[in-house]
Amino acid sequence: MGSIRLRLLVSLLAVLCVVLGWVSWSAYAIARYSLELRQKGVREMLQARYESAEQRVREQFDEKLLRDAHTLAGLARFQWRWPRLRLFSLGALTAILNQGAYASIPLHLGAEAHTPLAFRVQWMLAPEVELPEELLPGDESEWYFQFALINGDVLQTSPNLVEPWRLPSQVRDNLRLLEAYFDTVEGSGQEPLRRVTVRVPASRWRLFWRERWSSERAGLVNPPRGRPGQVPPRGERPADGAKPPRPLGTPATPPSPPPFVDQAAPQLLVSVARSLAPLQAEMEQLAQQRDQHLQQGEEESRAALRAFGWILLLTNLGTFVVAGLVGWLVLRRQMKPLEAIAEAVSRVSEKSFALPIQDDKVPAELVPVVEKLRQTLGSLQQAFEREKRAVADISHDLRTPITALLTTLEVALRRPRSPEEYRQILQNCQHLAEQLRHLAERVLALARLDAGVDQIRKEWFSLPALVEDCLRTVEPLAQPREVQLHSQVDVNFCYTDAAKLRDILLNLLDNAVYYNHAGGSVWVRATQENGQVCLEVSDTGVGMTPEVQARIFQRFYRADPSREPANGRAGLGLAIVHGYVTMLGGAIEVESQPGHGSTFRVKLPQPAPCPTEAFAAS
């Protein structure tokens, strides 16, 4: 077994490792969850920024497209009012009234002609509109345009437009003045185009002739050199409560016509379209920026999580090492009381069994240990003292018969004697030798009990026969004292070690006869109850005090030492009885009163009863 200090330190470090692991895992899980929430918020923020930028780019694209449409419409109106298109008179047009009847209707086509018929005639006379290149908005190859009447007839298209656009009648009828309608169409190369259609008046206002109108009154946004008007800054966002973005293919909210716009003038539809490739390219660029920012955020989150994990690992390792060093020092300091106890125990010797340690310096947890040590040392001191007394008693008990034997032999050798005298001397020597043999056997029995080498041989036997045999053996000792021996055995068979039970009964009967009065009686009773055989040996002798009863099973204890030396009794019989009963798994009790005799009760456990036939057959 290793050091207690080392085991305590290992246990402490194991508990600390478990606690730190749990805390670290919890902290790491919380940090990961927090970073995931943060990354989710960043993802939502970037997505919101992307959607806002996408909306802004689409709106800017639509605004630019709408500006191009207004610019183109302004140029067309400008060409419509140019003096070279003026016709001062056109004879007369004939209209069929009915069969065979004609009427001449004079028609004036001039600067102030606003009738649809005049408008149509002038378009027929001038089928193309002359658009100055310096006034066109941007590269003409990048955009498409078309002029059409309200009824859908196409008047003019851009050279790069392969097929004219046919607007649905529902769109043409529902489109109001100055209202823009956005949708997506396919170009010549199957490329998607973003188109805007605006319904505008076919002429300028009544006071217009050759004057240069301001771009604000003319509906143009910076018409010179085709430059688009001022747009909101790129980073500017719509204010809170702004209207949601306009879906593709829906009309824009029509502005209120200025008061100087002639709403009674003939109207036409101006359609302008541009390729969505630049818009898609810009959208892809915004998406790439969004993805780059997302990837960068995820990498930063993973890097932060890894850094936090390394910090936790290094912190745990540092804590583990510091805890090990500090724990070793603390345990070394806290183990000093144990070292003091060990030092005190080392001072115990055969001369002094006291534990030299102060109680106030012993921790509360070690007080029971110190008490047990003191009890053990006390028991050892008593055992040591008993052993010393036993050696002294054995020496005394051996010396008495040996001295008597030597004295008898010495007296016999002093002079010649007759054969009868020598016979008497030899009989005395034989008696003394019997006492020595009896004492040696008892000492040997105790030694075998202490060594634990004495074996138990249990078997079924007849208990009445064993009791009768023990009574016949003790009868020669009872006759000189006129002690009556009686038995009452209610148990036929017993399962135990018959030899040891015989020794137990002989020792108890010997004491009952020896400490009995002249003319007294001894009873041996045997009963069975609760799976046990109960043997009682009662006498009518001198009895015992409670003090004597508490010590009668101690070795070499004699209640009346003055009577023992002459009879060869060493006080070992009841000690052997107690040892045998304990070996057989039973218990022994004693009841006694001074002057009223004593009763020894032995209880031995029994298995299931053995059938009589089976025992007889064996």
What is the C-alpha separation between 166 and 479, in angstroms, rounded? 153
pLDDT, average across residues 554-570: 59
For residue 379, which amino acid is it?
S
- The pLDDT > 70 percentage for the chain reads 73
Q: Where are the domains of the chain?
A: 1-232+242-334, 348-453, 455-617
pLDDT value, residue 331: 81
**C-alpha 160: how far from chain center:** 73
User: Regarding predicted confidence, which is higher, 570 or 53?
Assistant: 53
Taking CA atoms, 36 is separated from 30, 47, 100, in Å, by 10, 16, 90
What is the C-alpha separation between 368 and 292, in angstroms, rounded? 72
Taking CA atoms, 202 is separated from 42, 127, 196, 269, in Å, by 52, 14, 18, 9
Confidence band for 555, pLDDT divided at 50, 70 and 90: confident
Residues 542, 536 contacting (CB under 8 angstroms) = no
pLDDT value, residue 587: 92
- SS3 (DSSP) at 294: helix
Please report which residue ranges of 126-253 form alpha helices under DSSP H.
169-174, 215-218
Taking CA atoms, 282 is separated from 53, 233, 274, 286, in Å, by 10, 17, 14, 6
Structure tokens at 23: 């805390």
pLDDT, average across residues 265-271: 82
Strands (E), 150-281: 154-157, 180-186, 192-201, 267-275
What is the C-alpha separation between 67 and 227, in angstroms, rounded? 10
Three-state SS string across 8-38, please?
A: HHHHHHHHHHHHHHHHHHHHHHHHHHHHHHH
b/e map 494-525, b = 16+ CB within 10 Å: bbbbbebbbbbbbbbbbbbbbbbeeebbbbbb
pLDDT tens figures, 274-293: 888 888 899 999 999 999 99
What is the C-alpha separation between 424 and 2, in angstroms, rounded? 70
Lowest-confidence pick of 143-147, 148-152, 159-163, 230-234? 230-234
Residues 215, 228 contacting (CB under 8 angstroms) = no
Q: Which CATH topology does 455-617 take?
A: Heat Shock Protein 90 (3.30.565)
Residue 270: what are its φ and ψ, rounded to 5°? -110, 120
pLDDT tens figures, 453-482: 678 888 999 999 999 999 988 888 888 888
Closest among 182, 169, 183, 184 to 252, alpha carbons compared: 182
pLDDT, average across residues 193-205: 77
pLDDT tens figures, 206-230: 333 333 333 333 333 333 333 333 3
pLDDT tens figures, 514-534: 888 888 999 999 998 888 899
What is the C-alpha separation between 484 and 11, in angstroms, rounded? 71
pLDDT value, residue 54: 92
pLDDT tens figures, 414-454: 888 888 888 888 888 887 787 778 777 777 777 777 776 67
Structure tokens at 428: 């005395």
The residues that bridge with 145 in the sheet, in sequence order, are 272
Where does residue 467 rank: exposed (0-12), middle (13-18), buried (19+ CB within 10 A)? buried
DSSP 365-406: GGHHHHHHHHHHHHHHHHHHHHHHHHHHHHHHHHHHHHHHHH
Run of H or E including 146: strand 143-149
pLDDT tens figures, 311-326: 999 999 998 899 889 9
pLDDT value, residue 284: 92
Number of H helices, E strands in the chain: 13, 14
Where does residue 576 rank: exposed (0-12), middle (13-18), buried (19+ CB within 10 A)? buried
Confidence band for 105, pLDDT divided at 50, 70 and 90: very low
For residue 336, which amino acid is it?
K
Residues 355, 344 contacting (CB under 8 angstroms) = yes
pLDDT, average across residues 98-110: 41
- pLDDT over 80 at 391, yes or no: no
- pLDDT over 90 at 56, yes or no: yes
Residue 489: what are its φ and ψ, rounded to 5°? -110, 115
Taking CA atoms, 464 is separated from 256, 469, 491, 524, 525, in Å, by 137, 9, 7, 10, 10
> Is 348-453 CATH 1.10.287?
yes
- pLDDT over 80 at 176, yes or no: yes
pLDDT value, residue 549: 83
- pLDDT over 60 at 255, yes or no: no
Q: pTM (2 decimals)?
A: 0.46
